[in-house]
């Protein structure tokens, strides 16, 4: 099929939309390592996990055999309000780059929360409601997850308490107000409201906080409040499952036109959008049906996949959550506050970590100023204002397209454009004013943070 016959945007008909989420673990030979109880070092069962998470989500968390989970009718109806997300052929960017490569991106920033996070927020809120809970707690870093969860909770009539990383709380007042508009309560973290918050503030007075701190606070409040559970916007297997909707739609749209990507690129914070985007393609690769290259792109200031250790670690700074085996910089690692976007989490999805360890997923890191330069180039070419997180994937996709210009290869590139940049104008301002810097941690800093990994030999396993 000739290039130009492919529309600028490929939409799916309602009847073509995925009706089930795909669980990549079912096709993985080496399964991701299970979550462990930090007190005993023993495997966490779904039952134990359901003290913190909703029961149905705890089941999804530990299920590594069921390949497809039907999407409940109520969630399908909610998805119809903002899905399908368009698959865009980046004709204008290709032309501007003078590349023979064909570039596609899946745009998840078209809903009010502004990112892909709504895909899992509605699922998690739905299962909480179905269980008869009254509310949920969570953390939010840059604010997208908190916004998405507030929208989902407002829709279903659930209370929502959000612990927002303090630097973001101060830098992004509009995010905060969007959450409050949807009825959520928003507290800057670390706060004096929780035991763990007080402990962290005592140790690090004046800290701008981190996702790890905010998670500890949200978990503490959820476990101490009757009728509440904790929900998390990334990293977990259940989130990866819900986000498979991104990849399933992208693949259905590409299949419709007989397009097969050679390389699939996504930004990686906790790994949920990338895990969701690659899921059905990686499934084909694991089953030996097709081959693709997969590239995770992370910020040079928080390089878990490229410079971290593959080890069991705490998921949060307060060390109350289960232990996960993942690429990590250590739960004490707090990225430099000059890092503008999300993607600040110290660890990475256990699923993506295992794929990386098995050589199935490549990973690169990119410095912040280059990311913003790519974001601006993209905005001027394609019109869409990208989120800084998404722009990590843009940067890598553009580099790949430029290599194609040099070699003459007509590769097909697919990348995830996870969100809109409207809430990140302070970061763009810094970039335009020449005040943006690149902070790259030294080996010593990383080694120091890694020295706090849990000593697994203390458990009698
Ligand atoms: C949260 C977020 C990310 C990173 O999270 P993942 O779990 O790695 O996908 C990327 N882009 C946007 C716009 C986000 O909101």
Task: Give the contacts of 136 (CB within 8 A, at least 6 positions apart).
Answer: 124, 125, 128, 149, 153, 158, 159, 160, 161, 222, 228, 229, 230, 231
Q: What is the spatial distance between Cα 247 and Cα 4, in angstroms, rounded to a whole number? A: 23
Q: What is the spatial distance between Cα 387 and Cα 171, in angstroms, rounded to a whole number? A: 15
pLDDT over threshold 90, residue 172: no
Q: According to the model, what pLDDT value does residue 318 have?
A: 77
Spatial CA neighbour of 389 closest among 169, 187, 188, 141 = 141
Q: What is the spatial distance between Cα 294 and Cα 266, in angstroms, rounded to a whole number? A: 8
Of 419, 422, 423, 427, the residue with max ligand 1 atoms within 8 A of its CB, to mutate for a pocket test, comes to 419
pLDDT tens by residue, 209-253: 888 889 999 999 999 999 999 999 999 999 999 999 999 999 999
Q: According to the model, what pLDDT value does residue 304 have?
A: 96
Name the percent of the chain lying above pLDDT 70: 98
Residue with tokens 């670690």: 313
pLDDT over threshold 50, residue 19: yes
Structure tokens of 208?
A: 């701008």
Q: pTM for this one?
A: 0.96
In contact, 84 and 249? CB cutoff 8 Å: yes
Q: Which residues line ligand 1 (CB under 6 A)?
A: 115, 117, 144, 234, 267-274, 342-343, 387, 389-390, 418-419
Q: 341-352: string of b/e by CB count within 10 Å (b at 16+)?
A: bbbbbbbbbbbb
Task: Give the contacts of 460 (CB within 8 A, at least 6 positions apart).
Answer: 41
Peptide bond into 219 cis (omega under 30): no
Q: What is the pLDDT of the chain when averaged over all its residues?
A: 94
Query: How confident is the model over 95-102, as a mean pLDDT?
Result: 98
Closest approach atom of ligand 1 to CA 115 = 13
Q: According to the model, what pLDDT value does residue 2 have?
A: 44
Q: Which of 18-32, 171-185, 417-431 has the highest mean pLDDT?
A: 18-32
Q: Are strands 20-22 and 68-70 parallel, antiparallel or unpaired?
A: antiparallel
Task: Give the contacts of 206 (CB within 8 A, at least 6 positions apart).
Answer: none
pLDDT over threshold 70, residue 306: yes
Q: What are phi and psi of 188, to 5 degrees?
A: -70, 140
Q: How far is the CA of 342 from the centre of ligand 1 (A)?
A: 7
Closest approach atom of ligand 1 to CA 243 = 9
pLDDT band at 171 (very low <50, low <70, confident <90, very high): confident
In contact, 316 and 334? CB cutoff 8 Å: no
The helix/strand/coil state of 69 is strand
The helix/strand/coil state of 196 is helix
pLDDT tens by residue, 342-385: 788 899 999 999 999 999 999 999 999 999 999 999 999 999 99
Q: According to the model, what pLDDT value does residue 340 have?
A: 66
pLDDT band at 461 (very low <50, low <70, confident <90, very high): low
Q: According to the model, what pLDDT value does residue 1 have?
A: 42
CA angle at 303 for the pair 104 and 276, rounded to the nearest 5°: 40
Of 114, 215, 389, the residue with max ligand 1 atoms within 8 A of its CB, to mutate for a pocket test, comes to 389
Query: How confident is the model over 287-304, as a mean pLDDT?
Result: 97
CA angle at 166 for the pair 160 and 172, rounded to the nearest 5°: 80
Spatial CA neighbour of 298 closest among 308, 288, 289, 283 = 308
Spatial CA neighbour of 104 closest among 418, 416, 414 = 414
Q: What is the spatial distance between Cα 31 and Cα 385, in angstroms, rounded to a whole number? A: 37
């Amino acid at each position: 099929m000739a290039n130009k016959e492919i529309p600028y945007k490929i939409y799916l008909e309602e009847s073509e939309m995925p009706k089930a989420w795909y669980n990549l673990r079912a096709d993985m030979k080496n399964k991701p390592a299970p979550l462990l109880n930090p007190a005993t070092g023993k495997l966490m069962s779904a039952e134990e996990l359901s003290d913190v998470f909703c029961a149905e989500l705890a089941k999804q968390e530990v299920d590594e055999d069921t390949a497809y989970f039907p999407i409940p009718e109520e969630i399908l109806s909610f998805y119809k309000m903002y899905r399908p997300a368009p698959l865009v052929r980046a004709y204008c960017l290709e032309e501007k780059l003078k590349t023979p490569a064909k570039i596609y991106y899946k745009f998840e920033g078209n809903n009010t929360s502004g990112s892909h996070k709504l895909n899992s927020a509605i699922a998690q809120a739905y299962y909480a409601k179905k269980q008869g809970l009254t509310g949920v707690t969570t953390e939010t870093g840059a604010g997208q997850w908190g916004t998405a969860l507030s929208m989902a909770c407002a829709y279903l009539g659930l209370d929502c308490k959000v612990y927002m990383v303090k630097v973001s709380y101060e830098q992004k007042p509009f995010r905060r107000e969007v959450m409050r508009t949807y009825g959520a309560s928003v507290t800057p973290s670390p706060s004096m409201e929780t035991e763990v918050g007080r402990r962290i503030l005592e140790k690090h007075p004046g800290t701008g906080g981190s996702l790890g701190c905010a998670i500890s606070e949200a978990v503490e409040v959820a476990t101490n409040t009757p009728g509440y559970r904790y929900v998390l916007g990334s990293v977990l297997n259940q989130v990866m499952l819900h986000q498979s909707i991104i990849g399933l739609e992208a693949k259905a749209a590409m299949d419709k036109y007989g397009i097969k990507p050679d390389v699939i690129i996504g930004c990686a914070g906790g790994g949920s959008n990338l895990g969701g985007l690659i899921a059905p393609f990686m499934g084909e690769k694991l089953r030996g049906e097709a081959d693709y290259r997969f590239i995770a792109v992370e910020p040079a200031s928080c390089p878990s996949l490229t410079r971290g250790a593959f080890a069991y670690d705490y998921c949060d700074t307060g060390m109350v959550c289960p232990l996960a085996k993942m690429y990590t910089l250590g739960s004490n690692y707090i990225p430099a506050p000059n890092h503008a976007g999300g993607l600040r989490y110290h660890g990475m999805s256990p699923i993506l970590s295992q794929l990386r360890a098995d050589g199935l997923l490549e990973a690169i890191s990119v410095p912040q100023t280059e990311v913003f330069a790519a974001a601006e180039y993209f905005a001027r070419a394609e019109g869409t204002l990208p989120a800084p997180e998404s722009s990590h994937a843009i940067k890598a996709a553009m580099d790949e397209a430029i290599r194609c210009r040099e070699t003459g290869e007509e590769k097909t590139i697919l990348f995830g454009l996870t969100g809109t940049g409207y809430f990140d104008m302070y970061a763009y301002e810094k970039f335009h004013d020449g005040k943006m810097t690149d902070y790259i941690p030294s080996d010593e800093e990383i080694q120091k943070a890694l020295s706090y990994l849990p000593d697994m030999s203390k458990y009698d396993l």
